[in-house]
Amino acid sequence: MAKLGDEVAAAMSPTAVALSVENISSLDASDVAAIGAALREQLQHHSFALPAANSTAAQSAVPLQLTLSESASEYLWVVQIPGDSAGTNSVPVMMVSVSKSNFPEAEPGEQSLSLEKRFVWKHSERFLDFALLKDSSSGQSLLLILEARRLEIYEPSGAGWQLSRSTPIPPMAALSRDSEGRISLKEGKIWFKGFECVGDPDLTGVVQCKISPPNHNIVERMTIPGLPNSLGTLVYGECRGETISVYTGEGDWTQTDFLQGYLISLGPISAVAVGDAIQVRGPVISLQPERDTSAVRAIIRNLKTEEYEAYIVTATCGN
């Protein structure tokens, strides 16, 4: 808002102005009032006078209109002299753009969670995690498959994927019968129990590992009323203003499983299952959040084929 105030001050000499605010964006009334008040404060800071609407001083004040608008990607706050439709006024149209993430979306009404799974890959050998990414140089889709002792990179080939190269993971700890590993594309890292690896220049290059500091990457599990005692993860995004999470069933690895969406509220902390669960053909053995999207990566051991299957499960909040 300071930038918009500065622009007005640069375009006009300090004088009495009558500021009107029009909202044609999805912002709610409280945000609109707060933004209008912030601009008024900025104008006063620049020595503009803002006479009361019904005062005699207001009749001679220069009219200024603040319009709160939004584009496909951001909010736009626009100040103009009303009636200057041709843009020919000596005072130019002034605007600032503001990220939509600065304003939480208005709370929707009766929204529900719907889970949708999309098959990505399968393999007879167990793998710990997977990730879909674009090659930074060619723009080509790549599939990373993390195994206990190597990271494999697959490229699209016909209808499926073909192994392009395999990067060994240096042994930093004794191989566990219950290995766990996680790919974090955002951080460019792979996490294992007790050690972590980084790629050079990224995970499609050479991988170097080091022992993690003690207690690093260990998350204390918190019991949340309503959540099952099973595998689960938080999901990027919100629904009804609450945090989305996805949890599995509570069976063991000899049983079929399901995935269920939950909404976690913070005051008091509790979780409620929302929407229908989706059934899967075997136990979910890994569940990791996808970056920047309301989805999780799930690895399922198909009890019928005994293969390991990778899925992207998307949580959609809608009516």
Partner 1 sequence: MLRRLAVISALAAVAFAALPARSARRPRHGGTLRVEIGASVASLDPDVEAATAEEAAAKWQIDSLIFDHRDADGEFAGAAGSGPFRVTAFEAGKRAVLAANEEFREGRPFVDAVEIAMGRGAHERLVDLELNKTDFAQILPQDARRAAELGVRVSASQPDELLALVFVSGNAAATSSARTTSQAPGHAAGQALSLAIDRVAIVNFILQKTGEAAGGLLPQWSSGTAFLFPAAAPSPADLEHAKELWKQIAPSAALVLGYDSADPLEQSVAERIVVNAKEAGMSVRAQAMPGASAGADKSRGAAGQATHVDVELVRWRMTSPLPGVALKDFLARIFLGPLVGVEAGAFPEAASPEDIYKQQRAVLNTYRVVPLVWLPQVYGLNARVRDWKAPGPGGNWPLADVWLDTETPTPAQTPLPTGVR
Give yes or no for residue 78 binding partner 1 (CB under 8 A).
Answer: yes
In sequence order, which residues have a C-beta less than 8 Å from that of residue 28 and are 6 or more positions away? 106
- Which 136-195 residues touch partner 1, going by CB under 8 A? 139-141, 156, 158-161
Residue 277 to residues 234, 249, 261, 315, Cα–Cα distance (Å): 16, 10, 7, 11
**Residues 163, 147 contacting (CB under 8 angstroms):** no
- Residues in contact with partner 1, counted by CB under 8 A, come to a total of 38
Nearer to partner 1, 104 or 160 (CB): 160
Give yes or no for residue 116 binding partner 1 (CB under 8 A).
Answer: yes
Token pair of 278 as six digits: 């989706």
Give yes or no for residue 114 binding partner 1 (CB under 8 A).
Answer: yes
> What gap in Å lies between CA 285 and CA 189, rounded to an integer?
21
Binds partner 1 by CB under 8 A, chosen from 75, 130, 192, 308: 75
- 75: Cα within 13 Å, side-chain hemisphere: 22
> What gap in Å lies between CA 155 and CA 146, rounded to an integer?
15
Residue span binding partner 1 (CB under 8 A) among the ranges 84-92, 170-178, 201-209, 286-294: 84-92
Give yes or no for residue 85 binding partner 1 (CB under 8 A).
Answer: yes
Nearer to partner 1, 235 or 278 (CB): 278
- Which 6-35 residues touch partner 1, going by CB under 8 A? 22-25
Give yes or no for residue 91 binding partner 1 (CB under 8 A).
Answer: no
Give yes or no for residue 247 binding partner 1 (CB under 8 A).
Answer: no
Give yes or no for residue 227 binding partner 1 (CB under 8 A).
Answer: no
Q: Is 113 exposed, middle or buried (0-12, 13-18, 19+ CB in 10 A)?
A: buried
Give yes or no for residue 69 binding partner 1 (CB under 8 A).
Answer: yes
Token pair of 115 as six digits: 């889970």
> What gap in Å lies between CA 235 and CA 49, rounded to an integer?
48
Tell me how many degrees the CA angle 113-118-122 measures, rounded to the nearest 5: 140
Binds partner 1 by CB under 8 A, chosen from 17, 39, 120, 235: 120
Minimum Å distance from CB 162 to partner 1?
Answer: 11
Give yes or no for residue 286 binding partner 1 (CB under 8 A).
Answer: no
**Total count of residues recorded for the chain:** 319
What does the binding site for partner 1 look like in residue numbers (CB under 8 A)? 22-25, 67, 69-76, 78, 80, 85-87, 93, 95, 97, 112, 114, 116, 118-121, 139-141, 156, 158-161, 276, 278
